[in-house]
């Protein structure tokens, strides 16, 4: 072992390439002096090294296993410009308040990645390294994607600006609801729920993630009845309406078939699930771009790898990948609803979807600045256990560019589905009007809602039914840089 320092690259070539096993740091995967280039991809991993494994060596191993390294020295490295192909861990620091965990920053040269391929990016960055024995756990917390790389992707087929122009809806969040029960309705019954929700005041209805083409409802039946409902509601209100037709299926061929049928019926939007995979998502984005279609992505399955702090991939990274891959909508959390997510962390996801530039924002979990190079913006969707009584909180947290989806809060309304939809729409418009008038909706929100409920019976009934419902559990995935904020405010 050269000079016996196991944390430094061995510079003597003979020593470096002698057959055998070296520490990753000795092989050159750690460089504490490295200054990342503007064209480098940067990744931040949270790692938990096995007992007795030095954090710097663990970081070097992560860099190695996610770029060129294997477990032993290979002479064939010398046929390549291997110094440049090696990813470099360049910073390691303990995670505040989490003993045994370290943040490790790794830089990758742009040449390592194929242009326009999320599959290629992820095969490198999360391909092998999460199963690597010397670390107990690893989590990809954030990435900085250089402009040169961002520009190799086409991004969202429609983007939130054009979506609003197509729908002719401006100045307020969009409203939606997921048709419930999610399984079991016949096509005719399903379309009834869609019609009632849209006529009552929603902009969108939505298929759920697991409604595809089951024995109780063939997909063509669903599409036909839903489009009858969408168009009828449009005629009754004078508004453009939509229902996310889920085209998720077992093969690309079948997904294209379903998407083509949705288009032939005049739908403005189709939907896919995250579980179809990154390449399938990019293909559907391509299809949507060619067919003037808004593409909604349900993040089905993400909780298996995004929720736990010590292992997996943070949702903020998934959101970045999906903006590149090209979806127009993505479920990004509610903060106040039934599903995981503390408010600041969730706001971080929203900023990734909607900003043209993200500054470093540690409380919101944004560790790198990110220039989006004018790639289109993704409309985030807040869905899961939210109701009209939280309208002020939702608008205060997320602003106007979001789809607020009240599934149970619409369909479970005591006066019926139309009344449920109307309650939500009135609550929304009353709150936007008040905010624009300069009122402090965070504090005066409940009063504003009650005042509107005086002339709107459906809203009164909604507040009486759900006004006190909160999901007050501690979040699992929280910021490492602020005092904990409770899940429900």
Partner 1 sequence: MRITQGCFSFLPDLTDEQISAQVEYCLSKGWAIGIEYTDDPHPRNTYWEMWGNPMFDLKDAKGVMLELADCRKAHGDSYIRFNAFDSTRGFETVTMSFIVNRPKVEPRIRMVRQEVDGRSQRYSFETVR
Instruction: Tell me if 454 contacts partner 1 by CB under 8 A.
Output: no
Rounded Cα gap, residues 338 and 291, in angstroms:
35
User: With contact defined as beta carbons under 8 Å apart, do 29 and 86 qualify?
Assistant: yes
How many residues interact with partner 1 (rule CB under 8 A)?
Answer: 39
Rounded Cα gap, residues 237 and 240, in angstroms:
8
Instruction: Tell me if 95 contacts partner 1 by CB under 8 A.
Output: no
Instruction: Tell me if 227 contacts partner 1 by CB under 8 A.
Output: yes
The DSSP-derived string for 58-97 is HHHHHHHHTTT--SS--GGGGGTTHHHHS-EEEEEEEPTT
Task: Identify the residue among 2, 432, 451, 469 touching partner 1 (CB under 8 A).
Answer: 432
Rounded Cα gap, residues 38 and 42, in angstroms:
10
* Closer of 191 and 343 to partner 1 (Cβ): 191
Stretch that binds partner 1, among 45-53, 249-257, 329-337, 420-428 (CB under 8 A): 420-428
Closest among 391, 383, 425, 403 to 163, alpha carbons compared: 403
Instruction: Tell me if 438 contacts partner 1 by CB under 8 A.
Output: yes
Catalytic residue numbers? 180, 298
Task: Identify the residue among 136, 180, 232, 257 touching partner 1 (CB under 8 A).
Answer: 232
Closest among 21, 31, 119, 89 to 321, alpha carbons compared: 119
DSSP-derived letter for residue 56 is: H
* Closer of 309 and 377 to partner 1 (Cβ): 377
User: With contact defined as beta carbons under 8 Å apart, do 223 and 251 qualify?
Assistant: no
Closest among 364, 294, 353 to 322, alpha carbons compared: 353
Instruction: Tell me if 171 contacts partner 1 by CB under 8 A.
Output: yes
Residue 165 C-beta: closest distance to partner 1, Å: 6
User: With contact defined as beta carbons under 8 Å apart, do 320 and 330 qualify?
Assistant: no
Contact mark string toward partner 1, 252..281, x via CB under 8 A: ------------xxx---------------
Closest among 58, 61, 142 to 100, alpha carbons compared: 58
Instruction: Tell me if 422 contacts partner 1 by CB under 8 A.
Output: yes
Instruction: Tell me if 436 contacts partner 1 by CB under 8 A.
Output: yes
Instruction: Tell me if 228 contacts partner 1 by CB under 8 A.
Output: yes
Rounded Cα gap, residues 280 and 276, in angstroms:
6
300 half-sphere exposure, CB direction, 13 A CA radius: 18
* Closer of 87 and 269 to partner 1 (Cβ): 269
Q: Which two tokens stand for residue 464?
A: 């009486």
Instruction: Tell me if 231 contacts partner 1 by CB under 8 A.
Output: yes
Residue 224 C-beta: closest distance to partner 1, Å: 6
Contact mark string toward partner 1, 7..26, x via CB under 8 A: --------------------
User: With contact defined as beta carbons under 8 Å apart, do 346 and 397 qualify?
Assistant: yes
Contact mark string toward partner 1, 348..377, x via CB under 8 A: --------x-----------------x--x
Residues 296-335 close enough to bind partner 1 by CB under 8 A: none
* Closer of 98 and 232 to partner 1 (Cβ): 232
Task: Identify the residue among 117, 189, 234, 488 touching partner 1 (CB under 8 A).
Answer: 234
Residue corresponding to tokens 């002339």: 455
Residue 118 C-beta: closest distance to partner 1, Å: 23
Instruction: Tell me if 152 contacts partner 1 by CB under 8 A.
Output: no
Strand partners, 231: none
DSSP 3-state assignment of 143? Answer: strand
Q: Which residues bind partner 1 (CB under 8 A)?
A: 161, 164-165, 168-172, 201, 224, 227-228, 231-232, 234-240, 264-266, 356, 374, 377, 422, 425-426, 429-430, 432-433, 436-438, 452, 455
């Amino acid at each position: 072992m050269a000079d016996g320092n196991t944390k430094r690259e061995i510079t003597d070539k003979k020593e470096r390439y002698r057959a055998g096993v070296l520490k990753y740091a000795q092989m050159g995967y750690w460089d504490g002096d490295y200054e990342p280039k503007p064209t480098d991809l940067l990744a931040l991993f949270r790692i938990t090294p096995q007992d007795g494994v030095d954090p710097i060596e663990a970081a070097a191993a992560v860099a190695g296993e996610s770029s060129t390294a294997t477990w032993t020295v290979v002479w064939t490295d010398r046929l390549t410009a291997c110094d440049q192909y090696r990813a470099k861990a360049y910073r390691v620091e303990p995670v505040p308040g989490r003993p045994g965990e370290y943040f490790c920053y790794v830089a990758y040269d742009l040449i390592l990645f194929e242009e326009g391929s999320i599959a290629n990016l992820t095969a490198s960055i999360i391909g092998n390294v999460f199963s690597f024995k010397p670390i107990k756990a690893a989590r990809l917390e954030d990435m900085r994607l250089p402009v040169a790389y961002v520009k190799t992707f086409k991004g969202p087929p429609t983007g939130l600006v054009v979506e609003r122009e197509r729908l002719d809806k401006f100045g307020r969040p969009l409203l939606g609801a997921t048709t419930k029960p999610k399984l079991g309705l016949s096509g005719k019954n399903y379309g009834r729920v869609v019609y009632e929700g849209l006529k009552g005041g929603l902009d969108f209805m939505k298929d759920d993630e697991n409604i595809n083409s089951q024995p109780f409802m063939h997909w063509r039946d669903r599409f036909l009845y839903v489009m009858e409902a969408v168009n009828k509601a449009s005629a009754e209100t004078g508004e453009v309406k939509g229902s996310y037709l889920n085209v998720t299926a077992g093969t690309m061929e079948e997904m294209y078939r379903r998407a083509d049928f949705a288009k032939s019926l005049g739908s403005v939007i189709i939907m896919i699930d995250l579980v179809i995979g990154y390449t399938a998502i990019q293909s559907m984005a391509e299809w949507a771009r060619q067919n003037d279609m808004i593409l909604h992505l349900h993040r089905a399955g993400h909780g298996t790898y995004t929720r736990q702090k010590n292992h997996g991939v943070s949702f903020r990274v998934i959101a970045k990948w999906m903006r590149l891959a090209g979806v127009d909508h993505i479920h990004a959390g509610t903060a106040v609803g039934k599903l995981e997510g503390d408010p600041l962390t969730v706001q971080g996801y929203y900023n990734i979807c909607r900003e043209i530039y993200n500054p470093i924002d540690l409380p919101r979990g944004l560790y790198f600045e990110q220039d989006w190079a004018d790639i289109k913006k993704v409309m985030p969707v807040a869905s899961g256990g939210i109701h009209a009584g939280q309208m002020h909180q939702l608008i205060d947290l997320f602003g106007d560019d979001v789809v607020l989806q009240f599934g149970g809060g619409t369909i479970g309304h005591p006066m019926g589905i139309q009344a449920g939809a109307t309650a939500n729409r009135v609550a929304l418009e009353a709150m936007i009007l008040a905010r624009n008038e300069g009122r402090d909706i965070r504090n005066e929100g409940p009063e504003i809602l009650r005042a509107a409920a005086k002339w709107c019976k459906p809203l009164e009934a909604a507040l009486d039914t759900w006004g006190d419902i909160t999901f007050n559990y501690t979040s699992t995935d929280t910021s490492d840089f602020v005092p904990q904020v409770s899940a429900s405010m």
